[in-house]
Amino acid sequence: MEERSGLVTELDTIQASLTTEKRGFSDTERARVVEIEARLSAINGDIAALAVLEKRANGSFNYGTESSKSEEKEKREFSFSKLIREAGSNSISGLEKELVEESAKEARAMGITPQGIYLSNDIMNVKTRELRTMSAGTATSGGNFIPLEKVGFFDALYAKTVLDQLGVTKLTGLSANVDLTGFSAAATVAWAAETADAASGDPTTAARQLRPSRLSAYSDISKQLLLQNNQSIEQEIINSFVRALSVEIERAAINGSGSSNQPTGLLQTSGINSVAMGTNGAVPSLAKVLELVAAVENANAGLNGKFLINPKLVAKLKQTEISSGSGAMIMSYMAYFNGMSDQIDGKPVFSTTNVPSNLTKGSASAVCSAMIYGDWENLVIGQFGGVELVVDPYSQAIGNKTRVVLNQHIGIAVKQPAAFGAIVDLLTT
């Protein structure tokens, strides 16, 4: 423990030095941080193991599941395939029964009456992966999980989710329609003569509607696969569902169309600041990026401004000079020219393929990328209840399949549109 404390102090010293001197890592510092991290991991493992031995020696070791860590472990061990099998015969048992009953209490407290099995956000809050149709008869759709000579598991590729890191506002456990109320314009004051009447200075009030939109999916799972699974497939199935939901929620929050049952995303929200590159779009320039920042700051926003772009734009900005011949790029590559990695103009930059790269401007058809800048706490994602899970062993029985349906209800709102700005006609080729 003393060694661990010393190593943590050393990390704090390195971090303080980087912050104070406003620079990146030296080669020595970078290597030392990696070395410390590896050693800390080993130390923590040793401390945990020694604690177990010590408790066994004095007879105080508890093999129960009373701690919060054990409760988290239970949720990780929740068996999706076991729930599906037992739900078909109305005989849910064990851990699955306990967690489903806890979720039902949450649903009743929020006035929700689900058609199927209600699962709380706590249970669904696992690492997310993609939805797929599972079948024991086809290797690429499920047969790979049957224990024959199959080893390991490989997953699909997903868009990176970054909105939590940007600091968006998330409201959970909602049930009724929600209006976010506040001032769209501040109170005003004015100078006046000694005995003259004061001028009216009332602020302008506004309400931003947060209404649920249904996000849903289903998967047909063969009953043979459920019988022959290798005891890990249920976790992969549930992870796949939830990651697909998570990725789509972020895509809609960024660029939801507002039609076809989608919520309206940030780029489609009226009132955000806009900077145009040209009639047919144009490659990025420092002048336009700074114009975007200025547009937001001139609206008295941008105090915690951060950029959100896509990987194509990251690559272009790291190859685009601030001015011809300068060698310094708009987005620094590593620490060249004293730049800071993953920053533009000293402001953090985040990247995800959920930011569109197929927009159109004039003759530039389906090749334009977007850049967004703003105070991200003004983007609100509301979760209405948890995730509803319906296990249907009957409608697909003729095909020896169980159908699993998930529903989640999400609302998107922007409190202050002027706190954001966007360029939507950037060319990356």
Query: pLDDT digits over 207-242, tens only?
Result: 898 999 999 888 888 877 777 665 556 667 777 888
Phi, psi of 364 (to 5 degrees): -85, 90
Angle value at C-alpha 138, between 133 and 144, nearest 5 degrees: 90
The amino acid present at 341, given as its one-letter code, is S
Q: Look at residue 67 in the predicted model and tell me its pLDDT.
A: 45
User: Which residues does residue 215 pair with via DSSP β-bridges, in sequence order?
Assistant: 408
- pLDDT tens column, 245-278: 999 999 999 999 999 999 999 999 999 999 999 9
pTM of the model: 0.66
Beta strand extents in 211-295 (DSSP E only): 213-222, 273-274
- 386 close to 119: Cβ distance less than 8 angstroms: yes
What is the pLDDT at residue 139?
A: 62
| Residue-level pLDDT at 424 | 98
Q: Give the span between the Cα atoms of 371 and 363, in whole angstroms.
A: 19
State the residue for tokens 């009332």.
202
- Please calculate the CA angle 418-300-182 and round it to the nearest 5 degrees: 60
DSSP string, 330-394: SS-STTGGG--TTEETTEEEEE-TTS-S-EEETTEEEEEEEEEEE-GGGEEEEEEEEEEEEEESS
> With a cut of 70, which residues of the chain have pLDDT below it?
52, 55-76, 121-153, 228-235, 335-339
What is the per-residue pLDDT across 281-303, written as a single tens digit (0 to 9) for each? Answer: 999 999 999 999 999 999 999 99
**pLDDT score for 192:** 87
Six-digit token string for 308: 């959100």
Q: How far apart are CA 225 and CA 234, in angstroms?
A: 10
d(CA 293, CA 273): 10
Label residue 362 left, alpha or beta by phi (over 0 means left) and psi (-120 to 50 means alpha): left
Distance of CA 70 to the CA centre of its chain: 26
Give the per-residue pLDDT at 128: 36
Residues 6+ apart with CB under 8 A from 81: 221, 226, 229, 233, 234, 237
Which residue is it, tokens 């049957």? 146
Element (H, E) at 170: strand 169-174
CA distances, 198 to each of 189, 192, 194, 282, 310 (Å) = 9, 7, 10, 50, 51
Q: CA 218 to CA 243: how far, in whole Å?
A: 14
Contact predicate 210/233, CB 8 Å: no
Q: Any bridge partners for residue 372, and if so which?
A: 308, 422
* E-only strand ranges, 30-125: 117-119
Rg, C-alpha atoms of the chain: 27
- Spatial contact of 128 and 244, defined as CB atoms under 8 Å apart: yes
d(CA 373, CA 273): 9
User: How far is residue 96's CA from residue 226's CA, in Å, rounded to a whole number?
Assistant: 16
Give me the pLDDT at residue 98, please.
83
- How many angstroms separate the Cα of 103 from the Cα of each of 68, 93, 96, 99? 17, 15, 11, 6
